[in-house]
Structure 1
Amino acid sequence: MKRRHFAEGAVVAALAQAVAVPAHAQTRPGGAGWVTSWAASVHGPYPVGNPSAQPEQRFLFPSPPDGARDQTLRLVLRPSVWGRRARLRFSNAFGTAPLVLDGVHAGLQLGSATLVAGTNRPVSFAGTGSVTIPPGGQAWSDPVELPFAAEPASPLLAGRKLAVSFHVAGTSGPMTWHAKALQTSYGTAPGAGARGAEEGEDAFPFSTASWFFLDALDMEAPAGTPVVLCLGDSITDGTASTMNGDDRWPDVLARRLNAAVPNRVAVVNAGIGGNQVVGPAEYGPGKPFPGGPSALARLERDVISLSGVTTVVWLEGTNDFSRNGNASLEAVRDGMVEGVKRIRAGVPGVRVVGATVTSALGSSSAAHGHQGQDENRKALNTFIRDGGLFDAVVDFDRATLDPGSGGLRPEMIPESTTGGPGDKLHPNRAGYLAMGSSIDPAAVLPVRR
């Protein structure tokens, strides 16, 4: 298997050109500002979506229409960069009732639902311990000090995970969520009350492979810290990679960049399994779709409104050309042109990178793998490579294609999450490793002007 590798020196050289403060950066006195360190693009309401390796949820959420009821969730996530202070964004984007949260805490995960002793910190909202988020709304927390991150670039923090705990007061109603976390999180039984201050695991018997309500984490970082946001579908979200393995292609890219300059570049995943560029035409709590709202419909929430974004890498199109999407090549191409235009208007100075779409030829999925889909995919890739729309191109098709079959390379097909032969649509861990390793750092890092 041939891969393009880029020396550490290339990473350092590219980073040296990425130190200018972006025009849209939210900067604090002293040369620090908020940057997005983690995100989970939301859709909903639960249970409409495409989770992977999901445990039985009926004990955690007995009634999906009622959602969470007087219980505490402990969500586990991996910040891309660390800072001495953090803030959290909670979303009720697809709820139909006010969402009341209290007892919010953030601490360093030790293992399972247990936290490192002494790291759990209370989180406030406008100086109070609770927040009410209206249907369709969102709320940022106040900044919370993280004493254990006093040295953010310490190698002892690299790859560590944050546990965010919060109590849903009363009944939430339909839940805004991110189905495919590929990360185990935890919850109490309904009616258990506010247990987020506890550092042990006894109150959290139930597990989930999804994230609920929480959709962004900011860290305070040096001004000009690059934020590379990866916008896409299940192949960015990580289907067929390993559960709790953090080996999606954005994870691979993040480790490569931070190996050269520790804690200096954030890489954020904005993928949703089943997502499309232009479909569905309608989306909302009363008319959900497993792939979430279209990329065009979610740009403001999932890209433009996030803190400090300097680069967007966009990998989508395969679901538009599936039997679930049935979109024309012209519609997807025009959608990409419109999307790039809106991203550039909303994030001044942003670098937008196009990623070629990987093959699904011969897929065992009923909606994928047909010849028409592959013909449209190839034509879209030609446009991405040669159309002049993007500032740079990442060629994932070249990194994963088996020239003999026209599909994925054989070693990239077996499923890494739950085992099995794979579906010839989603690359496995080997495929994501090849994709993340094929990216030239200079393509995704901002250039000082």
Structure 2
Amino acid sequence: MSVTNPLVKDLKGWIRKLTENTAEITDDNPDLILLCSSLEKCFQLGVTMRITSSVGYPKSADAWHWLEELGERNERFLYSFTSAVESVSQNLKVESSIGKLRLLIRICLTKKCLHMPVQLLVRSPGMSLDHYEPNSILGDEILGEIFLSALLQIGKLQFKLNLKNARFLDDTWQLPKCSSIELVPCKSLGISVCFTKGKALIINVHENSVAAEDDKIQIGDVLDEINGQILTGRSRGKLNKIMKKTSGLPTTLHIIKYYSEATNDLYGPIANLIRSSGVERLQKLLKRPMTSPKKIEIPRIINKVNDTLSANAGCKVTYCGNISTGTEGDVKQIESAIWRLLRCQEFVSIPVRFESLEIGIRVTQQSDETVILNQSYMEISSCGRTANIPEYFAYIAGDTNCNMATNFNAFVFHHRKENEVQTILQSLAQGFHRTHFAHRAPTPTVARLK
């Protein structure tokens, strides 16, 4: 019987890293999304399909269903968890079982109660096998206890998360920037919206209206709430009625921004809404200048605990720079990315040391050991080289885990020995197999292009 699992190992690594930060963990923490993603994968691994008792139809194999059933028991010792389940069930911002599970994880992190359902599951004889396959984390007695121990450790951390920011959890863990705005009493907000896929896209902000003050609300943003009332497709045609209920009182709006001021990048799910809206005036927003590839900052998500190689390890290569591949991260993008970089002004030539570590890669300058790149294999979606210029190779990485990323960049390197290039690519492939264990994620591709 196996007593180890790479998912649990990865989860414990992110817990250790977050433990290093004594301050409150907020949505701005770059490691939060990796912790949450690891938790989701642990809960989802090996979950069995259920049959509804009422009509006899099967439920999808998602952890949310058994967690919801457990919350509905309303056990007194599960009060915090039951409250969290009720909050998710009543929240109109999430519709899918995946979105509900993600919101539940965020709420339970804040309430420090994520261990409660797992503790009941693993310590009730036979209960775990009602919901999980025997070879899964929660279906295995020993792994279940190890997972529970990790969750108890998470309960010691301080999370301060914006639980209102839940609108796009059905699509991704990568949450958008959002803000709450209070407007003075008025009869009209001065906002026009169109409903696309159940979300209220702002298509016009009328000049001289209260909404136009200080440019806090922009065309392309999503109007998420009005005075605490969540807007959905059913709200179509009811906005005036909603406003009349609070006539003469200040109006509070919850706005989801369509782009990030820090990076100037569009938020992927809203960009998709804009494309499908069919509103012509919104389409020009898709042409918004993106961050220059040279200025892109890749978040440090490598696990320090597993950085066991010395600073002098690795292979000496030349870093040539990086270039955007847009929303595509597959191996087909590598050849064109290499050629585009070699022909543009972004091309650089920096002697570096390329290291393949336990769960990621690290690239440091040879001159002063400054870290240039530090990325997890879970971010890397593909790697390879071209037959025409085999001394150049590249890997493509997303702005977060490759199965959730909306923006990808190719990082290009040079080594004069072709056999050394092949060795580096093989080490990347081995890293994929060690760490890319999400059963729903696409497998990163390693290939030599023709």
Question: One fold, TM greater than 0.5?
Answer: no
**What TM-score do you get using the length of structure 2 for normalisation?**
0.25
**Bigger Rg over Cα:** 2
Structure with more relative contact order (C-alpha pairs < 8 Å, separation 6 or more): 1
> Which structure: greater helix fraction?
2
TM-score by length of 1: 0.25
